[in-house]
Structure 1
Amino acid sequence: MSHLLRTSRVLAWLFFTGLSVAIIVTSGFYLYLRPGLPAVEQLLDIKLQTPLRIYSKDSRLIAEFGEKRRAPITIEQIPTIQLQAFMAAEDARFYEHFGVDIKGLARAAIELISTGSIQSGGSTITMQVAKNYFLSRDRTFIRKFNEILLALQIERELTKNQILELYLNKIYLGNRAYGIAAAAQVYYDKPINELSLAQMAMLAGLPKAPSAFNPLANPERALIRRNWIIGRMRDLGYITEDAHELATSAPLTASYNATDVEVDADYVAEMARSELVRRYGEGAYTDGYVVTLTVDSNNQQTATNALRAGLEAYDRRHGFRGPIGQIDQETLDSQEASDLVLNYPYVASLTPALVTEVNDENLQAKVHARGIGDAIMPFETMTWAQRFKTEDLRGPSPEKPSDVLAAGDVIYVHYRSEEPENRETPTLPSVSLAQVPRVEGALISLNAQTGAIEALAGGYSFRQSKYNRATQAKRQPGSTFKPFLYLTALENGITPATVYNDAPIVFEDDELETAWRPQNSSGQFYGPTRLREALYRSRNIVSIRLLRDVGIENTLDYLRQLKIPADNMPENLSLSLGSGQLSPMELARGFAVIANGGFDVSPYLIERIEDANGDTLYNAPETVLCDEACIKQQTEQPENPEPLIAITENTEGNLTESTAPKDEPTAKEEGGKIESPDTRYMMRLADERSVYILHSMMQDVIRMGTGRRALALGRSDIAGKTGTTNEQKDTWFGGFNHKIATTAWVGFDQPAPLGRREFGASTALPIWIDYMKVALDGMPAATMPRPNGIVNIRINPETGKRARPGEEGVFELFREEDAPAPITAEENSTSGNGDSEDLSRQIF
């Protein structure tokens, strides 16, 4: 008995000694590690890495930037059954333990002793939160001990629901999906509350090994894991036996679902991305910023489609350059067509396809198109494909499919969605022959009243070329420059009735090898011409004479007043023909100044920026067109130390917003613009009467001049100007009503002739029409209100003078001070043939 007692005492002492040692060691670890542990409060302030999302003003997704796909949600938004699925898979006693599950740790210890390595780890959800947010993923004892200590702290300071919410938003679930909301979209393209029990269990099985149990990479293992979790849910009483049977028999339905971009606006997205990175650095990709732009999704998609269609139409007019690749017969016989076309990328809406058969008898070719499969190409879609030789020379028209294609050719095609009439039996899809245009272009549409960018397309395909021609390409504007010259003339007392002689003119210049003999685009001369007619018929000689009268330096100074960059403008008479350089954005902005009645315009793209919590970080200032009363009111306001917002263009051609020093006033007038944090006051840059008269002259470009194609819109409120440079290297159309101004440009990136028959009216204007047809749809007619100080006077169309009583005449607009002098009694009694007026402008 005494022996048993002594043995019991020894065992007890050994037990207490071991326990004491364990306590001392544990305390030592705690005292050693505790100072280096992060504060649990940081969990509530941690920003989950959430991608940058960019939306149109009508809330359509334009782009998403960032490596991690995440959409944080609250625990209230998560169905209870989904929570139970994760607890069944990861921590069934989550609501019972204090952060550390002793049973789980004991199980892990037994595994370590029996196998010599750590197997399951025994981690609770709380311990996983500690690891995911604060610790590395190294499987060491020190990291495990830190994990336990942090879990205990987290349980003391946070509620169970807070811990579970942090866990479900942080966990990685494969395929760039972080958190269950992102995973539900990636695997099932559904919000979390629309998933079935089987789908919820599949997501719950992913945290343990996102690769091994991924339904896309390892469907068999994923199915086993899913069914095990469903069984656990039944055993834990979360679901009934019937629900278990139904869920375990459900098929795998997971598929990869990329983010659904709703608007094709890559150039716009890149401008916004660049600006967010400039503001917030690399955190722009991870801090969950949500950016709302000024572009309307419908207008933006229309702009993209219109530009592509216009460039493709030009390209077809100049012939087919042949296949983009050729595959030999041996390869065709040995490999699948679907594999062969994978080497060729999609470009915009064009799809690569392999020609597998050409049938002249049936007038069609058979192709295998990437993503479409086998398809038929009718010969009617190939008739345009004369062989390209030069921009001005093509081969004969094809008469049969084999004149265009051969088996083994790799080409681009358009999918033809329309179905043939009276189709009784299923047939292969239909495609049409296409090719990637070499020519490029841009389209920019501005709200003329505010400067907001309504739509922007910077080229045919952003993936093919990231060069944004809308903001970065400096090109000669050609005759689209003339409205600015004519406005300068109107401001200097010259009128639409002023007559200039459209006759040959020669300029000698010591710097030129030969004399300069400018011509009209037609090569003809038309004699005395009123300024109004000279503009709508785009007479070059009249523009040259007009610039000589107004003065080159005077014109350049007026351009600077209009804030049109003059640094790349020539200081000679070629300025009148648009030989300077402007970007399409700069030209569009200048037309917007004309459109709104002469007020300054600052183009901007970003309407609002919100953080991951939905708090607004930035709102675009309200734009106010500031007349004289407005100027007086604003300049009398007291100073305010708030920062100013100024719109600039950075070196990459992207529109940015900078902040002025805080010691500047809330509102000030500088360079034609008063600015404040909440309001952008835009000053008048041009006499509204001169602008109104120019409107009427540019409306005649549409009614009677080079822009007559735009009459197809059936609107009376539009005005514009075509433009074509020497050798047709650049072609333009800029047009507007009082609310919206849009400019389109077409040309090669490396300036080269577009072809003898290509002009602004044939290349750029159709793009403009296709866009404006949609942009103006449903918009009431918007014309500039007629200002005071303008008179209508009947004039002689030949002389530009007042018409005599009984004489044929037309009405013209004049500023009051520039109106032609009244006819005296002596002049009224003198016939027109004896008029001895000064005809210097007509002669010289």
Structure 2
Amino acid sequence: MRKFLIGLFELILIAAAVGLGFGFIEYRRLQAQLPDPESLRHVELQTPLEIYSRDGRLIAVFGDKKRVPVAIGEVPRPLVQAFLAAEDDRFYQHPGVDPQGLLRAAWELLRTGHKRQGGSTITMQVARNFFLSPEKTYERKFKEILLALKMEQVLSKDEILELYLNKIYLGHHAYGIAAAAQIYYGKTLEQLTLPEMAMLAGLPKAPSRFNPISDPQRARLRRDYVLRRMHELGFIDDDQYRQALRQPLTASLHQALAPSRQLDAPYVAEQVRNQLHQRFGDEIYTAGYRVITTLDSRLQRAAQSAVRTGLHRYDERHGYRGQEGHIDPSLPESERLQALQDHTPAGATVAAQVLAIDPELTRLTVLLASGKTIRLDRKGLAWAYRTSRKRLSQLRPGDVIRVRRDETGAWRLAQIPQVQGALLSLDSRSGAVRAMVGGYDFSLSKFNRTVQSQRQPGSGFKPILHTAALEAGMTAATVINDAPIVYANGESEWRPENYSGKFYGPTRLRVALRNSRNLVSIRLLRRIGLDRVIDTALRFGFRPEQLPRTPSLALGSGTASLWDMGRVFSTFANGGFRIEPYLIERIERRDGTVITQAEPARACDGCDHAAPRIVEPRVHYLMHSMLQDVVRRGTAVRAKQLGRGDLAGKTGTTNDQRDAWFNGYAPPLVAIAWVGFDDGTPLGRGETGAHAALPIWIDYMKVALDGRPEYTFPQPEGIVTARIDPQTGLRTHEDGIPELFRVENLPPYQPAASGEQSESLLNELF
């Protein structure tokens, strides 16, 4: 027996030695595969893309992993204690691995045959979350243990806990405690109550199973368990424990992360997101980029309001279309309010249910989805009464309609406009976009009409034509005949007309531009040549495919986006330089490290990084003067209500009124407004650029120019003023009207009047 026991002992020693040998070999193999925990000091937590205006207003957040990293010193102590109580109460005592926890897990495995408890410490969870896969294997567990021990030698306990609290997944795309506090409670960490802290601390074990949104009953049990553990560990006293248990669940989904979205500019957000994705790929959603745009929040709000108001004005001119639904008025109010929720707000409008309408059609009582009852008076119904009285009279209790607040704050009958509009505003000195509205409502149409839509610019192209004419030696006093013209092509004929349908005879170029005379433009293009006009347009940034090689180009039959027109009119607003519009000022990481800083070419002579000059100063001065005339006495005279002397621009209306534009500026600010249907449906008779688009521009500029001093371009050398005969454009010794000229292009004096000379002049004009 003694020999047997000695032999057995020797075998055990040999087996133990072999086991230790193999264990050591396996340890060395696994040790060689482990990453360096030192890299955790420089880890970049996955955080979403954030987009801001230039004045710090949050526009949008892109990325499923909602995370707001916080330093451990910013975490309230009771919240730390709640997580320790729930996950690892001996965290500050063990060396990264807790033997007690591992023994409990082993015993559970032996007792039940199932791995119900992992025995993982917070350190082990950090090791797994940052470096290892989630697979449940013994090898991964050994790696987790080894890595946790190694981490504790490199990092402090607080550093490990900070990584854990920022990395842990807590459900509903919330990663880290700060994001979870916002998602579930709409609060910062400091604002959380003790029961709310316990609720968050209970989530890591099973974020979906113990979720207060999807399973409140089970979540409450888990919360109460965490509170009990906090009480047992002495983190809270008896009164705190009892009071916390009595508190109801208060969690609800809060979609935005703190800070909440502060500026509604979805078309800008999507444009920026798309630009970044083309450059960086999918990492933009996790790399924590912060994009500072060139947007001015005050101007953006003004632009959005102006576009929506302008489209409602157009829509109201063309009649009321009636109800958009019906809810049984006999249902309980709670059910009717719930049904109204299906009619989501759109643009400036909200849904409402008709409660009563008086027989005279002068008052309408409606119920809003908020539960508030309001009355629309005669003024709020007047437009529908005037344009569509029959449809207004057909409204019945229970019908779902739309209402909005007008500029005075009064409630008004409304409908979602079918027409679309857009506005782009730039600083012409650099091309920085200050406001961008790509449509009535992004949720209804994500098509960004400022950059994606190619429409005919109409008469908005004529300033390029006139620039080419001045460069060719013509003047603002050059006379071109406004008379019928016919272009024949086989069996087809093109007979262009002025919008008025009238012909005005000999017309000076200044008058032709301010009154947008089509026939003068066509004759002007023919005189200076199509090639010259196209070359000039290319200098302004147009592409060849946008410019048809036909006489109709004089009337803007090519294509352009608001982005293109913003570039064109920036040249007139900045003194003759071609700038490129841009939207991103800089891209930085969350820690403030700048990745990209915009360095736009600027409109200046002789400065660093100067934009190319494409119009010489004297031609620019003459063109600016002519564009000012469009506002002072031409098609945009309505803009004079702004009471400024530095306004200039050009209306644009295309064939059959399919597009309405106003392209204008008050140096250095440019704004381009457009109205039209996406499918090219005509806007209707009278819906010109001056009628449909100019009011939007005025509403925007009223805000944008408030407090800005007027700017006057200095008169360059080589520009002179001479008096001319307004009929012939020739200088006169007698009383005439003043006109500006380049000194080398001064017209001759008008000869003494005679019938023969007048006839000769008339023949030249024709």
Same fold (TM over 0.5): yes
Is 1:513 aligned with 2:518? no
> Do the aligned partners of residues 178 and 298 (structure 1) sit closer, same or farther apart at CA in structure 2, a change above 3 Å counting?
same
Partner SS for 2:744? helix
Of residues 811, 817, 824, the one that matches 2:744 is 817
Q: Bigger CA drift: 727-736 or 258-267? A: 258-267
Residue number in structure 1 paired with 2:346? 347
Aligned residue number for residue 471 of structure 2: 491
1:545 correspondence with 2:523: yes
Which residue is 2:142 aligned to?
145
Question: What is the identity, as a one-letter code, of the residue corresponding to 2:201?
Answer: A
2:222 aligned to 218, 221, 225, which one?
225
Partner secondary structure for residue 603 of structure 2: strand
**SS state at 1:469 partner:** coil
**Kept after mapping to 2: 8 A contact 1:689/1:787:** yes
Sort the Cα spacing of 1:194 and 1:341 in 2 relative to 1 into closer, same or farther, 3 A: closer
Structure 1 range deviating more: 464-473 or 164-173:
464-473
Q: CA deviation at 1:499?
A: 2.2
Q: How does 1:110-509 map to 2 (within 5 A)?
A: 110-244=107-241, 247-259=244-256, 260-326=260-326, 336-355=335-354, 358-360=357-359, 364-371=363-370, 376-378=375-377, 380-385=379-384, 395-396=388-389, 403-414=393-404, 432-502=412-482, 504-509=483-488
Q: Which residue of 2 aligns with 1:673?
A: none
Match in the other structure for 2:596: 618
The 5 A counterparts of 1:773-788 are 773-788=702-717
Where do 1:600-611 residues align within 5 Å?
600-611=578-589
CA distance in 1, matches of 2:246, 2:122: 29
Residue segments in structure 2 that go unaligned for 5+ positions in a row? none
Return the alpha-carbon distance in structure 1 between the equivalents of residues 754 and 623 of structure 2.
Answer: 29
- Could you tell me how far apart the structure 2 residues matched to 1:460 and 1:242 are? 55
In structure 2, the partner of 1:637 is none
Which of these residues, 722, 741, 745, is aligned with residue 793 of structure 1? Answer: 722
Residue identity matched to 2:540: L
Match of 1:554 among 513, 517, 532: 532
Q: Deviations over 1:270-315 (max 9, x none)?
A: 1111111111111111111111111111211221221122112111
User: By how many angstroms is 1:32 displaced?
Assistant: 5.0
Q: CA deviation at 1:244?
A: 4.3
CA distance in structure 1 between the aligned counterparts of 2:229 and 2:557, rounded to whole angstroms: 78
Instruction: Identify if the C-alpha distance between structure 1 residues 197 and 468 changes in structure 2 by more than 3 Å, giving closer, same or farther.
Output: same
Q: TM-score, normalised by structure 1?
A: 0.84
Partner residue, 2:103: 106
Letter in 1 for 2:294: T
Question: What is the CA–CA distance in structure 1 between the aligned matches of 2:385 and 2:437, rounded to whole Å?
Answer: 29
**What secondary structure does 2:488 align onto?**
coil
The aligned residue for residue 690 of structure 1 is 619
Verify the 8 A CA contact 2:329 2:336 in the aligned structure 1. no
Are 1:761 and 2:761 matched, yes or no? no
| Cα pair 2:431 2:581 within 8 Å, conserved | yes
Distance 1:360 1:21, change over 3 A: farther
Please point out which of 563, 566, 577 is paired with 2:541: 563
Report the secondary structure of 2:401's partner residue: strand
SS in 2 for 1:165: helix
SS at match of 2:492: coil
Over 3 Å counting, the alpha-carbon distance change for 1:12 and 1:235 in structure 2 is farther
Encode CA deviations 1:610-655: one digit per residue, 9 max, x unaligned: 124321100001533353x45xxxxxxxxxxxxxxxxxxxxxxxxx
Q: State the shift of 1:328 in Å.
A: 6.8
Deviation (angstroms), 1:408: 4.3
Instruction: After TM superposition, give the deviation of residue 842 of structure 1 in Å.
Output: 6.7
Deviation at 1:23, TM superposition (A): 4.9
- Cα 1:8–1:206 change in 2 (3 A) is farther
Take 2:667 and 2:146, find their aligned partners in 1: how far apart are those partners? Answer: 68
**Within 2, Cα distance between the matches of 1:574 and 1:544?**
7
Q: Is the 8 A contact 1:501 1:842 kept in 2?
A: no
Instruction: Spell out the pairing of 1:630-649 with structure 2 (5 A cutoff).
Output: none
RMSD, aligned CA: 3.2
CA offsets 1:589-608 (integer angstroms, 9 cap, x no match): 10111111110111111110
CA contact 1:568–1:581 (8 Å) conserved in 2: yes
Q: What is the letter of the counterpart of residue 618 of structure 1?
A: T
746-755 or 350-359, which deviates more: 350-359
- 8 Å contact 2:64–2:173 — kept in the other structure? yes
Distance 1:7 1:322, change over 3 A: farther
Counterpart-to-counterpart distance in 1, 2:544 and 2:304: 30
Answering whether residue 661 of structure 2 is matched by residue 732 of structure 1, we say: yes
Letter in 1 for 2:484: I
Q: 1:338, 1:206 → 2: CA distance?
A: 34
Contact 1:198 1:250 in 2 (8 A): yes
Instruction: Name whichever of 467-476 and 757-766 sits farther off.
Output: 467-476
CA distance in 2, matches of 1:833, 1:448: 50
For 1:216, give the aligned amino acid.
I
Q: Deviations over 1:347-366 (max 9, x none)?
A: 33333444455554795445
**Contact 1:724–1:731, Cα closer than 8 Å, also in 2:** yes
State the partner residue of 2:574.
596
Once the 2 structures are TM-superposed, how far is the Cα of residue 510 of structure 1 from its aligned partner?
A: 2.4
Q: Percent identity?
A: 48
For residues 302 and 15 of structure 1, what CA distance do their matches in structure 2 show? 85
Deviation at 1:46, TM superposition (A): 3.9
Contact 1:385 1:397 (8 Å CA) reproduced: no
Q: TM-score, normalised by structure 2?
A: 0.92
Using a 3 Å threshold, how does the CA distance of structure 1 residues 763 and 837 change in structure 2: closer, same or farther? same
> Is the contact between residue 452 and residue 605 of structure 1 (CA under 8 Å) also seen in structure 2?
yes
Q: Is the 8 A contact 1:719 1:735 kept in 2?
A: yes
Which residue pairs with 1:839 in the alignment?
A: 761
Amino acid of the residue matched to residue 206 of structure 2? Answer: A
Please say which of residues 359-368 and 205-214 is displaced more in the overlay: 359-368
Distance 2:505 2:758 in 1: 19
Q: Matched residues in 1 for 2:409 and 2:636: separation? A: 36
In structure 2, what is the Cα distance between the partners aligned to 1:463 and 1:61? Answer: 18
- With over 3 angstroms needed to count, the CA separation of the structure-2 counterparts of 1:22 and 1:594, relative to structure 1, is same
Per the TM alignment, residue 20 of structure 1 is displaced from its structure 2 partner at its CA by 6.4
- 2:721 is matched by which residue type in structure 1? N
Partner of 2:73: 76
Name the structure 1 match of 2:47. Answer: 50
* Distance in 1 between residues matched to 2:375 and 2:44, nearest whole Å: 53
- Flag the 1:728–1:622 CA change in 2: closer, same or farther, 3 A: closer
Q: Render the CA deviation track for 1:682-731: whole Å, top value 9, x for unaligned.
A: 11101111111111111111111111111121111110111111111111
Unaligned runs of 5+ in 1: 388-393, 421-430, 631-678
Deviation of 1:584 after TM superposition, in Å, equals: 1.7
Residues 252, 738 of structure 1: alpha-carbon distance in 2 compared, 3 angstrom cutoff: same
Mapped contact 1:61–1:263 kept (Cα < 8 A): yes
Q: May I ask how many residue pairs the two structures share in their alignment?
A: 763
